[in-house]
Structure 1
Amino acid sequence: MKQRIIFSIVIISLLLAACAPQAPASAPASQELTAIRLPVGYIPNVQFAPLYVAMEKGYFKEAGLEVTLDYSFETDAVALVGANELPFSIASGEQVLLGRAQDLPVVYVYTWYGEYPVGIASLAEAGIVKPEDLRGRKIGTPVLYGASYIGFRALLQAGGLKESDVTLDVIGFNQVEALSSGQVDAVVIYVPNEPVQLANQGYKLNVIRTADYLPLVGNGLITNEKTIAENPELVRRMAGALQKGVADTLADPDAAYEICKKYVENLTEADEAAQKQVLKTSLEFYQTEPLGQSAPQAWENMQNILLTMGLLAGDQDLSQAWSNAFVTETK
């Protein structure tokens, strides 16, 4: 199972990035656009609003980029970025550290989700309000790897629990059905998603957020050491365009939602109140100070939880895994 986790992966050489020459955030108007295929790891969704905003408002094109989003679950994005077959992907912190442990020179260069978006949801009547309350409970998790599993284990640790203190049931991505039907006592969820669906169906919930107990590194933009060394301007322009999309989405969520309708199939027929709530909840995770910058302690915490789980053999040089060198501070 560890191999499966390790090969689902995705970071940076701080020294290389710090030495990278400064470059303008936008490309010359006459420059031919560079085609970028960007894996995002999920289906079209309002949670990707900043990307849609950056595409719709031309921020990527201003940066000399022609971005196409890759929603395929089969894309092993971290491995492709590490092999320099793709220059960028969206990935979370554990993927970066696990990737580097496998000699994949991936680097995390822009923090999109300043907080780890995983948590555990339960019906209010179950009385599960803190990690300690999970003892003896049956918990449904979509998979036994990736961000969901990392976030779950972090919450167990916060409650002083081991995995043997709970009954774990692998339920696939059917958390809403599993919880509402009573199949399990609680489910591992993506905070901006399943709790909104359940609340929209009238269920009263308790949600325990991993981020409230242990700051970890959420989704962000990754590249590789070769791209940083040979084309730091490309990295800066890509991160800059994403940053503009995030800033605009935070500034005007309603306008961002309207843009999403052009990119998310059937969004116009969906429950607008529920979908806007998904976006609103997502916005809470986009906030970083300054915008887009990593927090060193979150990287330390991420490494420690992976060491505790036995997924890393030893400490890594975290300064090589991430950098804020390509992030422009916004006022």
Structure 2
Amino acid sequence: MTAAGCGASKQTDNADTSTGKTATPTEPAKLKNIKVVLDWTPNTNHTGLYVAKELGYYKDAGLNVDIIQPGSGSADNMVASGAAEFGVSYQESITQARTQNVPLVSLAAVIQHNTSGFAAPVDRKIKSPKDFEGKKYGGWGSPVEQAVMKSIMELQGADVSKVTNINMGDADYFTAVKRDIDFAWIYYAWTGIEAQLRGEPLDMLYVKDYSEKLDYYTPVIASSEKVISGDPEMVKAFMSATSKGYQYAIDHPEEAAKILLKAAPDLDEKLVMASQKWLSPRYKDDAPRWGEQKESVWKNYSDWMYEHKLLDKPLEVNKAYTNDYLPAAK
């Protein structure tokens, strides 16, 4: 930017020899202001967004992007209401929204495979879903939690009614397992890595290992039908720059982690670095490009939700997601 500015200044000092008039500097293109709202506080799920902003990828795409936190409202609500053009969401919540006539659309899978699951300190001896029996589970009171737990327990002939459920809300996992609960649902890339750094080993039961229908996209980048139809070129520009940000994080995990830390200096540096190194290769994983979504993944999970009475009607899968705004695979 400095070099460009110097170039513009030089031009104003020079006369146009063909006309004898002083050259007029070119007006810089006006950036379009947009907001992207996170699902939670900044973490390594969001690194590509911060990289795209810090390294000027959004600016190069003609965008002035403000990355914000959801506050009292959810990211989905803010995107659906038009308070933000884009948000970090989940396949589960977009599926539920679509079947309730809320026109949210997933534009990219942040992580290609589900890295979440049930985690317990090793001294609780929870090696399989059968071992949930007689234990205390700390959750947030979602029907999906119970359905997932029930379905993977039943695969092993276990009884979900023998699990004691405790609503722990936003309580710290490490405090809760010492005081109130035996296991909880976590994202390994953050809480699991933190456990490693604390020297508190976990038994981790990834839900995708028990059913391919539970290998869904979490999180995703979402927008609304209104934004997409109203300015498809802006959406394409945003997703191209975002893809570039995540590709940088794939290729340069340490540098990307430093960018996240610069944007969110209150985060633990060791945790961010370790988490980023673990997560970066998993953003794209076995997909042909970052963000690519498969119809089978959307259909499998929505069918599972419908079978478990978590949806009032089947999902129109082709309206819930699109790959059309991602740059072509190289």
Query: Within 1, Cα distance between the matches of 2:29 and 2:149?
Result: 48
- Is it true that 1:195 corresponds to 2:183 in the alignment? no
Q: Which deviates further from its counterpart, 60-69 or 192-201?
A: 192-201
**Greater Cα offset, 29-38 or 253-262:** 29-38
Distance verdict in 2 for CA 1:325–1:47, change over 3 Å:
closer
* Whole-angstrom distance in 2 between the partners of 1:89 and 1:46: 15
Shift of 1:297: 2.1
Corresponding residue number in structure 1 for 2:24: none
| 3-state SS of paired residue (1:119) | strand
Aligned with 1:186 (options 183, 187, 201): 183
SS at match of 1:261: helix
2:103 pairs with one of 105, 113, 122:
105
Matching residue's letter, 2:202: L
Distance across 2 between alignment mates of 1:156 and 1:62 = 48
Look up the equivalent residue of 2:73 and give its one-letter code. T
TM-score for both structures, normalised by structure 2: 0.82
The question of whether the paired residues in 1 share the 8 Å contact of 2:87 and 2:223 is answered with: yes
Q: How does 1:160-239 map to 2 (within 5 A)?
A: 160=154, 163-173=160-170, 174-179=172-177, 181-213=178-210, 214-239=214-239
Q: What is the aligned partner in structure 2 of residue 157 from structure 1?
A: 151
- Residue by residue over 1:211-241, the C-alpha shift from the partner in whole angstroms, topping out at 9 and shown as x without a partner, is 3332112111111222222321111111111
Q: Distance in 2 between matches of 1:72 and 1:82?
A: 13
What is the correspondence of 1:1-331 to structure 2 with a 5 Å cutoff? 30-141=28-139, 143-145=140-142, 150=144, 153-160=147-154, 163-173=160-170, 174-179=172-177, 181-213=178-210, 214-267=214-267, 270=268, 272-288=269-285, 289-290=287-288, 291-331=290-330
Deviation at 1:108, TM superposition (A): 0.7
Q: Deviations over 1:239-258 (max 9, x none)?
A: 11110011000101011122
Aligned structure 1 segments of 4 or more residues deviating by more than 3 angstroms: 149-153
Indicate if the aligned counterparts of 1:107 and 1:222 stay in contact, CA closer than 8 A.
Answer: yes
Contact 1:116 1:285 survives alignment (8 Å):
no
For the 8 Å contact 2:240–2:326, the answer to whether it is kept is: yes
* Separation in structure 2 between the aligned mates of residue 285 and residue 134 of structure 1, nearest angstrom: 28
CA distance in 1, matches of 2:248, 2:303: 34
2:144–2:310: 8 Å Cα contact kept in structure 1? Answer: no
Partner residue, 2:6: none
- 1:139-186 deviation per Cα after TM superposition (whole angstroms, max 9, x unaligned): 112x123xxx6366424412315642411111123211111x152221
Superposition CA RMSD, Å: 2.2
Q: Distance in 1 between matches of 2:146 and 2:188?
A: 12
The corresponding residue for 1:20 is none
Deviation at 1:308, TM superposition (A): 3.8
- Mark the CA change 1:162 to 1:73 in structure 2 (over 3 Å): closer, same or farther: farther
| 2:250/2:281 contact within 8 Å kept | no
Give yes or no for contact 2:99–2:313 (8 Å, CA) kept in 1: no
8 Å contact 1:307–1:313 — kept in the other structure?
Answer: yes
Pair 1:67–1:93, CA change in 2 (3 A): same
Once the two structures are superposed, residues 62-98 of structure 1 have per-residue CA deviations (whole angstroms, 9 ceiling, x without a partner) of 1111111111331333233224443211111111111
Q: How big is the shift at 1:319?
A: 0.6
Higher relative contact order (CA 8 A, sep 6+): 1
Where does residue 7 of structure 1 map in the other structure? none
Contact 2:108–2:291 (CA under 8 A) maintained in structure 1: yes
Change (3 A) 1:83 1:296: same
Seq. identity, %: 24
Contact 1:81 1:89 in 2 (8 A): yes
Q: Paired residue for 1:15?
A: none
Larger CA Rg, structure 1 vs 2: 2
2:130 alignment partner, SS class: helix
Aligned length: 295
- Structure 2 counterpart of 1:78, which letter? D
1:55, distance to aligned residue in structure 2 (A)? 0.7
Instruction: Return closer, same or farther for 1:103/1:31 CA change in 2, 3 Å cut-off.
Output: farther
| Contact 2:37 2:84 (C-alpha < 8 Å) held by counterparts | no
